[in-house]
Amino acid sequence: MGSASPTELPALKTNPKFIFFTDFDGTITEQDSNDYITDNLGFGQAPRRKLNEDVLYGRADFRDAFREMLDSITAPLDQCIEVLKKNITLDPGFKAFFAWAKENNMPIVILSGGMEPVIRALLAHMLGPEEADTLQIVSNHVATREGKKDVNEVGGWQIVYRDESGFGHDKSREIRPYANLPADERPVLFYAGDGVSDLSAAKETDLLFAKAGRDLIRYCENESVPFTTFNDFSDIHATVKDIVEGKLNVKEAAVGRK
Ligand SMILES: [Mg+2]
């Protein structure tokens, strides 16, 4: 098996020793934006929670469950984005981590089951447009619904999945080419996530950070996936810094639920 060349792997451009893959919703942000619009503009929290449980316990595909949630929202896309800008907040430790990662040549790659225009708008709002532009985002998309003219009309938009997998966006496909690099070229890979959209990525990296109190932890324990927990990015920052400085290795860091 040949290895992918750096031109096919954008995060290798600066020859990093470490790459930080991360979920967006509920990980970089304190709330999940898709949950928020489903709960407040769509069919509400109870059916949404039930669908999340179904995915977590393998009774439903993320792909179908997530589409059902988003299809319950008829508000125009621009209105959804405005509501989210007012209600979604950045993880309190992310800005400092983001600045430190830049100084230390550690690319941050966002792997999201969410929709690119929503993520871009929120990041630009929370980090500033120029800073937001420096982040690579790999996510799902949005398109105008059949019979409608524009995403910004009532019932006008729908999610478009990135791939044909049951995840809609199988995050492992983005990580695996890096994981499969020959040992002397392969950076250490991190992943941070919180929920059902992260199940496809959970087993792929050298160290998984799972958000305290959220669904991903139960999955990791059920599936015996090594992980460590975080409350916010200041925890991640401290651990990653220790690893980068050689004070801790990834195996020692995967202590499970604290
Ligand atoms: Mg999430």
**Over the stretch 132-153, which tens digit does the pLDDT of each residue have?**
999 999 999 999 999 999 999 9
Q: Please tell me the distance from the alpha carbon of residue 146 to that of residue 28, in angstroms, as a whole number.
A: 33
Pairing of strands 136-144, 207-211: unpaired
For residue 179, report the distance from its CA to the centre of ligand 1, in Å. Answer: 22
| Dihedral (Cα; 116, 119, 122, 123), 10-degree rounding | -110
| pLDDT bracket for residue 4 (50, 70, 90) | low
Residue 71 lies in a domain: yes
In a domain, 62, yes or no: yes
By annotation, the residues acting in catalysis are 23, 25
State pLDDT tens for residues 7-25: 579 999 999 999 999 999 9
Note the pTM of the prediction, 2 decimals: 0.93
Which domain does 127 fall in, by range?
A: 6-253
Rounded to the nearest whole angstrom, what is the distance from the C-alpha of residue 182 to the centroid of ligand 1? 30
* CB-CB contact of 248 with 236 (8 Å): no
Cβ within 8 Å of residue 94, ≥6 positions away: 28, 232, 233
- The residues that bridge with 207 in the sheet, in sequence order, are 190
Average pLDDT over every residue of 69-84: 98
Question: What 3-state class would DSSP assign to 48?
Answer: helix
Domain count of the chain?
A: 1
Any domain includes 258:
no
Q: Is residue 101 part of a domain?
A: yes
The average pLDDT across 183-212 equals 93
Q: Assess whether pLDDT exceeds 50 at residue 237.
A: yes
User: Measured between alpha carbons, how far is 200 from 185 in angstroms, rounded to an integer?
Assistant: 24
Q: Tell me the pairing of strands 188-193 and 157-160.
A: unpaired
Share of the chain above pLDDT 90, in %: 87
pLDDT category at 5 given cuts 50, 70, 90 is low
Average pLDDT of the chain, as a whole number: 94
149 CA distance to ligand 1 centroid (A)?
A: 30
From residue 131, how far is each of 96, 101, 177 by CA, in Å? 13, 13, 26
With b for 16 or more beta-carbon neighbours within 10 A and e for fewer, the 171-191 pattern comes to: bbbbbeebeebeeeebbbbbb
pLDDT band at 2 (very low <50, low <70, confident <90, very high): very low
Distance in Å, CA 154 to ligand 1 centroid: 26
CA of 247 to the centre of ligand 1 (A): 29
Does a structural domain hold residue 229?
Answer: yes
Average pLDDT over every residue of 219-226: 89
Cα 23–Cα 228–Cα 17 angle in degrees, nearest 5: 65
> How far apart are the C-alpha atoms of 222 and 236, rounded to whole Å?
23
156-170 in b/e form (b: 16+ CB < 10 A) is bbbbebbeebebbbb
Dist. CA 11–CA 174, nearest whole Å: 11
Taking the centre of ligand 1 as the mean of its atom positions, its distance from the CA of residue 2, in whole angstroms, is 33
| Residue among 70, 217, 96, 65 at smallest CA distance from 155 | 70
Cα separation, 133 vs 127, in Å, equals: 10
In degrees, to the nearest 5, what angle opens at C-alpha 94 toward C-alphas 186 and 63? Answer: 70
Q: What is the pLDDT of residues 11-67, one digit of tens each?
A: 999 999 999 999 999 999 999 999 999 999 999 999 999 999 999 889 999 999 999
Q: pLDDT tens digit string along 96-141?
A: 999 999 999 999 999 999 999 999 999 999 999 999 999 999 999 9
Q: Is residue 134 part of a domain?
A: yes
Per-residue confidence (pLDDT) for residue 140, from 0 to 100 = 97
In a domain, 231, yes or no: yes
Q: From the CA of 175, how far away is ligand 1's center (Å)?
A: 17
Residue 1 counted as domain residue:
no
CATH code for the domain in which residue 211 is found: 3.40.50.1000
Q: How far is the CA of 203 from the centre of ligand 1 (A)?
A: 16
Is a pLDDT exceeding 90 seen at residue 219? no
Spatial separation of the C-alpha atoms in residues 169 and 223, rounded to whole Å: 20
